[in-house]
Structure 1
Amino acid sequence: MTNPNCNEKAIDIFLKLSPYFQGLGDPVRQQIVALLIDKESMNVTQIAEHIPMSRPTVSHHLKILKQAGLLQVQKKGTEMYYRLEITEAIGLFKQLVMFVEEECYPNE
């Protein structure tokens, strides 16, 4: 039997995760995140070399990822460099998985 409070707590965690889901909700943005996983940082030109889209389109996707809280931007000279900032998102995903496993389905 599941805990009746599971629904409320799960919804609370999902609400906190919502910006990350929205940011990751497009295959191009998923590609960008995958590209940046093992990189210190990259500028738009470097990212666009790996993504089959124009620089303005890549910039648009970077803006959405930044607004979602998944990227940090650092200006170096005239270039903007992007790096992943996913610590908080990973923590929330872990919290959701652990909560569901431990509280909602403890014997499975």
Structure 2
Amino acid sequence: MVEQTLEIFKRGSKILSVLQDEKRQQILVLLCREKQLTVNQITSLLPISRPAVSHHLKLMLDAGVLSVSQVGLERYYSSDLEDALDWLKELTRSLEEDLENKGNK
């Protein structure tokens, strides 16, 4: 069972890695509150430079916790946590099973 849990951890390592940064956490929380925002809007709401916001958004897109849509010349970013939450639920279930099995030994 522990091997299964380790495999689940590996699948989510990119999510965990990208979300350990405080600036990315701030951006994600902001995007969870707002429906969608542009880079300029995010920059105006947080004490992060525009290039840094763009960099963080790219990493978060690559990790699958954001989505982006193009409207004219603007790119609008929004939180997209469904897959990450499904992974977290799977990890939680697996860890709970591991703990139950430990108690039964």
Same structural fold, with TM-score higher than 0.5 when normalized by the shorter chain: yes
- How many matched pairs? 101
Q: Name 2:11's counterpart in structure 1.
A: 16
Q: TM-score, normalised by structure 1?
A: 0.88
Per mean C-alpha deviation after superposition, the further-off stretch among 48-57 and 74-83 is 48-57
Q: Name 2:99's counterpart in structure 1.
A: 105
Task: Give, in whole Å, the separation in 2 of the partners of 1:100 and 1:60.
Answer: 33
Task: Give, in whole Å, the separation in 1 of the partners of 2:58 and 2:22.
Answer: 15
Computed over aligned residues only, the root mean square deviation of the Cα atoms, in angstroms, reads 1.1
Give the 3-state SS of the residue equivalent to 2:45 in structure 1: coil
Give the CA deviation at 1:39. Answer: 1.6
Task: Give, in whole Å, the separation in 2 of the partners of 1:100 and 1:53.
Answer: 36
Give the CA deviation at 1:19. Answer: 1.2
Q: TM-score, normalised by structure 2?
A: 0.90
1:52 to 30, 47, 50: 47
Structure 2 residue ranges without an equivalent (≥5): none
2:63 to 65, 68, 71: 68
Contact 1:23 1:70 in 2 (8 A): no
Runs of 4+ aligned structure 1 residues displaced above 6 Å come to none
Task: Give, in whole Å, the separation in 2 of the partners of 1:80 and 1:62.
Answer: 11
